[in-house]
Amino acid sequence: MGFGGDLLEPTIGADFYLRFAMRFLLAFGIAFEFPVFLFTAALLGITTSARLRSWRQYAATIIVIGAALLTPGGDPLTLLLLSAPLYILYELTILAVRFGLKR
């Protein structure tokens, strides 16, 4: 702050940073509830692991589109940081439904 003297003004204030951080945390928090929703749907008999496996292409597309809408910034790194773990969690949910809910 003291480097430029009166010629430079800070462009990022505390309110901007806190707003961005809260939106970022909220987006990731909501998104990571997705596997819980899928497991609950399987527990209630709404879906099965076979159906989840057949929907992989659609799930990947929906995950990327949803991550693009939820992330506060428009950068591809944030999109990747949200969509890659979500897809991995989708695959782990398929395994959990398949082996955890054997009837």
Distance CA 78, CA 74 (A): 8
The pLDDT of residue 4: 58
Query: Which residue has 């008999």 as its token pair?
Result: 45
Q: Which pTM does this prediction carry?
A: 0.74
Maximal C-alpha separation, the chain: 71
46-82 pLDDT per residue, tens: 999 999 999 999 999 999 998 888 776 678 888 888 8
For residue 23, pLDDT over 70 is answered with yes
